[in-house]
Chain A
Amino acid sequence: MESSAVGMWKGTSKGWVELFTHQKVQNGWQVHFWDNDCFKTIFYLLFGSIPNRTNPYSLFCLQREKKNLQDLNGVFVFNVAEREYLDRPTARLIKEFDRIEELFMKEIGSQYGIMSGSRENSLYNALWAAQALLRKGSAKTADKRILLFTNEDDPFGSITGATKMDMTRTTLQRAKDAQDLGISIELLPLSCPDEEFNVSAFYADLIGLEGDDLALFMPSVGDKLTDMKNQLRKRMFKKRVVRRITFSIVKGLSIELNTYALIRPTVPGTITWLDSITNLPLKTERSFICADTGALVQPTKRFHPYKNKNVKFTTEELSEVKRISTGHLRLLGFKPLSCLKDYHNLRPSTFVFPTDKEVVGSTCIFIALHRSMLRLKRFAVAFYGGSAHPQLVALVAQDEIIAGGVQVEPPGMHMIYLPYSDDIRHIEEARENFELLHSDITVPTPRATDDQIKKATALMRRIDLKDFSVCQFANPALQRHYAVLQALALEEDEMPEIKDETLPDEEGMARPGVVNALEEFKKSVYGENYNEEDEGHGKASDASKKRKAVAENAVKESAKYDWADLADNGRLKDLTTVELKYYLTVHNLAVGGKKEVLISRILTHMGK
């Protein structure tokens, strides 16, 4: 379990307004800060797009109005009906949060930070309030965090003298107390376009940064929102070991590895079956019934039909058959990376990272092999012998990649599941069969000429995605799914539109350079005056020609009958099946079955 309090600290001089909309502020405080989707994205990362996550969250803002348990000034805990302060996000919360801009303006917002002359320290109060909210649950079982969003690097900047000293000291003490209670405080600074967020001004002390960490902090957070999104996402997932495995390298030398699932398809979430009348959840009960006698049975054996017999297997025998290895990962040897073909893939890969937890020295061996494999451009072939899925795997070493202070690729090895010969199909060779069946002469396989290849190369230069990165797209189906769920949960009438990021960039494709390159390539491979529709259909198979002819004939024939009349008077049975089939063919219905079946199909289609 994980609980977080999300604190939003709005500063005095630099508003989010500027940050998010890049608009100059006029007339004092025009708060537009939700105009931009970016922050919403962050917000949805926390709550919205992952509604299956059930971690409790609390939201609070530092505001004019006070609304909190401790009756502290300048702190507003944002909440909706039917929800505790610290609770799982509900649809209503998300909806209300969408309106926060408006609310902020009208009701909650103070539009001020900590002012000189004021004795109120709202940051101090906020930390206190957050700490109180996170009191629930012991530090051992729950991961408690305060995420602090702010663009004010020096909250006590407007105050001077002893008051400032005092406020700084008490606030830091407050933060320390919270940390002592096992609550971690994470700062997500929002820089303004013209001003860098200065961590050292105040927050470095609050979150305990020093030395190199301090220097690294800002680049790692980044002033770009996308970076922050990444940062946040990285912090959202709890790192989980899938399994600890033993990797046997040579006889008598086995190291310990942890496996992680870094890439797995995200699915819309599990379905709970409900009673459509009461909307109460249902449970499923399963019973086994003997097909011959109808008696309830508890089967222990399974069978496979073979040579007109049923060959029976016990569960133990089946698991014995599958047990072909000890369950370890066993090194078999190394191959150059070029041996790993693009079609050697079955499932998402698994990441492995060494651990010295049980076997001291594992990491050292792993690092040595990792380096050698990278340098020699080789991958390891190993047998991964779990009982569920014994399989050959390729272990491909991946060097650490850091971009913009963020670890893009962790160092370690990726375990790629290799297919067996049984799993590989030789489709490209199947062409031969086709040739064999349809022509007597073996035509030489068409190969592109150098000129055609040159045109294709030119085209490729034009349509080049320079900074393509895997996973830059959100899954439109999943986004739609969540949006629909939210709309239904809130009983909204209108279904939200989701932008499909995966569609090709039409504007880009319409650029003259691209169009020209495409045209050139087309001319080069297809020739002038090429009509796509004709090509390929010229050799349409006999079967499809026949089908077409039958359909045309049926349309002609079918028109000769007054079907409605025939059906009304029950005279369909006087027609032959051939005649009946005219109707069926015209209406794209199945034409199989006995005459009665055909008639009933026609009647059903007519709605009679």
Chain B
Amino acid sequence: MARNKEALLLLLDVSPSMHTFLPEVEKLCSMLLQKKLIYSKNDEVGIVLFGTEDTNNELTKEVGGYEHVVVLRHIKVVDGDLVEALQQLPRGTVAGDFLDAIVVGMDMLIKKFGSTNKGKKRLCLITSALCPIKDPYEGTKEDQIGTIAEQMSAHGMKLECIVARGRLSGNVDMRIMDENDLLLKLFSTKTTAKTLYVETPTSLLGALRTRSIAPVTIFRGDLELSPKMRIKVWVYKKTAEERFPTLKQYSDQAPPTDKFATHEVKVDFEYKSVEESSKVVPPEQRIKGYRYGPQVIPISSAEWEAVKFKPEKGVKLLGFTDASNVMRHYYMHDVNIFIAEPSNTKAMLAVSALARAMKEMNKVAILRCVWRQGQGSVVIGILTPNVSDKDDIPDSFYFNVLPYAEDVREFQFPSFSNLPASWQPNEEQQEAADNLVKMLDLAPSGSKETLLPDLTPNPVLERFYRHLELKSKHPDAAVPPLDESLKKITEPDPKLLSQNKPIIDAFRRRFELKENPKLKKSTRRLLRERPSGLNEEASMGDGSDGQAIKSIENTSTVGVEKIGDSTPIQDFEAMMSCRDSPEWVGKAINEMKNKIFDLVEDSYEGDNYLKALEYLVALRKGCVLEQEPKQFNDFLHHLYKYCEKHNLNSFCESLASKEIMLINKTEAADSEVTEDEARSLMVKKEPKLE
């Protein structure tokens, strides 16, 4: 048997309690076999069903008993037949006894391999564990499990149990369920067994690692607390992205009669001088060049090797720090795991002591790591404790890389509190948001966390392998639609949504969204009404595109009293003198501002400037009369800035010539501007904030 060849026996519960899960069991197991077909072609697999009407296994013939257990396929090297057998599992009619199935499976493995292949034999049990277990002929069930576990350890078998239970319906016997859970737990204490509980079909799909990858250490050596205190550790990858398989290019050039055609495509690279495209440069005559300002500096790899940064291999502690000093979003890479050197008890103790102390004090360690000798870079990273709550799993550490100074781009964003008042949620809105965050809960207490990354399969890969299987039978098969259980990953769960319908509806009612109407039609910017007290940062709006000043339509201005195009100044004055409501003044000022701004904005080579200045004089007069200096001053500042940004200097100059300046204290007591300051506006500007 090849080195990493594995023998796997699938023990599948097909009893009625499992029927809702069977479509996913079929998918999960065929995915497992498909990946074996691609990545580990020599693995051997057998299938045992239990909870069936029939009985068909060797033990029943030899010793009797073991009813309702069917060996669907004997252990054999993976092939398409196995995949197909799994795609149409029969639905059983009777209760299934998982212990019987385990014994049958064990018997098959022992008969086939004896005590060879230790550690390469695996039993995978998928059951609901809701059916009663028959009492053994002698002794208790616990004793029986003890015997089975002993046998498993002796033969080097592993047991993986996946217990699939949906929302429990009323007719479930809690006593049986608890007993079964206890029995399964017993396995993990006595032998190498792992039990996983899943609640949804989606997590069932992710419950089994369908592709087995032999773990490879990226570092074995000392974790150096100081030159005098070292801990022997092994470092592995904890997460590593499983990528979409790279497919080879296909060439259809070979004649169809050619049985040995590879249909592969070779990619050939030719290097040509940019100037002389006829001359081909052989690859070995190439040399790497790095950009340095306008120059490109050639460096041969030998030269580079001689001068490059060459740190010593090793993992060194820089110190400990509060966990709050390193925020989660600074993690740069996939995750590594540090475990103590296997079978080195002292190292395990040291790791355990550190991990537990770190957890207790809420500390993390900062490390400097060079994994391999000759590696050209070092990483600074964070070591966090992973304290195990299971007796059979030792404590370990997680490690992630932190950014260097060069890797961080410190952009400035406006504070939320500085954003305009209209963008701030009011109390009702905040309450609606609170409720949504509280109730759209994926990890409700008393129930399993849904969409747990550890149990969520990659929908793209699932779909690809399914399509591959379909295509192997029908080359023209269409891409299968994403099935329901996978849709739960990409879309919100309809059940969760319907449960929280009132909250969602309330949320939707509280907030109003609308398309920015002005944006689509043209890119022209309109003056936005700026609530008083707004600072410059806020006018940068969404932070990214500061100049995009949005228009918030003043819908209330529709009426008789409106500044028209024919006699705007008169209209303005009329509105300002309207005494029936204090609103008019504000409205008049705003309308006038808009008008002036539009004029300035739309003017072509200053043709509107005279008009704009006229209006501005009127506005100033009005503001002085109504003692609204801030309105005018802010607007004038705004106008200046706008002109400055768009090179409309001539307008500013004409302002100066007309002596239009800020309203100062002597004119309006509320103004913060002194006379001198007002005069110096022409020479006083804020730089653009970046």
Contact = CB atoms under 8 A, between A and B. Distances in A.
A493 B363 CA distance: 46
B400 interface: yes
B647 A182 contact: yes
B172 to A, nearest CB: 27
Contact of B253 (A54, A293, A475): A293
> Interface residues of B: mostly helix, strand, loop or mixed?
mixed
Interface string A493-536: 00100101011110001000011001101101111001010011
B250 A303 contact: yes
B457 A422 contact: yes
Contacts of B412: 234, 239, 407, 410
A184 interface: yes
B419 A367 contact: yes
Most buried by A among B348, B376, B543: B543
Contacts of A360: 513-516, 550, 552
Interface stretch (B59-67, B222-230, B567-575, B587-595): B222-230
Contact of A322 (B118, B242, B460): B460
A186 B689 CA distance: 9
Interface stretch (A71-79, A258-266, A552-560): A258-266
Contacts of A385: 490
A85 interface: no
A113 interface: no
B309 A378 contact: no
Interface in B397-433: 398, 400, 402-413, 415-416, 419, 422-425, 429-430, 432-433
26 contacts: A184-B688, A239-B412, A253-B513, A254-B513, A264-B407, A271-B289, A288-B265, A289-B266, A303-B247, A321-B464, A335-B441, A342-B398, A343-B239, A369-B437, A410-B412, A422-B209, A456-B356, A456-B358, A466-B321, A469-B325, A476-B311, A476-B378, A518-B229, A519-B228, A525-B353, A539-B344
Interface string A472-497: 11111110110011101100000100
Interface string A214-247: 0000000000000000100111010101000000
Contacts of B497: 250-251
Most buried by A among B206, B213, B248, B376: B248
A44 to B, nearest CB: 11
A292 B194 CA distance: 49
A209 interface: yes
B683 interface: yes
10 closest A-B pairs by CB? A456-B357, A448-B353, A208-B686, A355-B542, A421-B206, A414-B329, A302-B247, A368-B433, A368-B425, A410-B413
A250 B683 contact: no
Interface footprint category on A: 35 or more
B335 A524 contact: no
Contacts of A252: 508
B484 interface: no
A291 interface: yes
Nearest to A502: B368
A446 B356 CA distance: 13
B622 interface: no
B390 to A, nearest CB: 9
A464 interface: yes
Contacts of B425: 364-365, 367-368, 371
B556 interface: no
Contacts of A275: 271, 273, 281, 285-287
Contacts of A454: 357
> Interface residues of A: mostly helix, strand, loop or mixed?
mixed
A146 B685 CA distance: 15
Interface string B493-516: 100110000001001100111111
Contacts of A429: 194, 393
A436 B154 CA distance: 9
Interface in A45-101: 47, 49, 51-52, 54, 87-91
Interface stretch (A25-33, A326-334, A591-599): A326-334
B504 A250 contact: yes
Contacts of B248: 302-304
Interface stretch (B50-58, B161-169, B447-455): B447-455
A456 to B, nearest CB: 4
Interface in B105-138: 118-119
Interface in A362-384: 362-365, 367-373, 375-376, 378, 380-381, 383
Contacts of B296: 272, 274, 281
A518 B242 contact: no
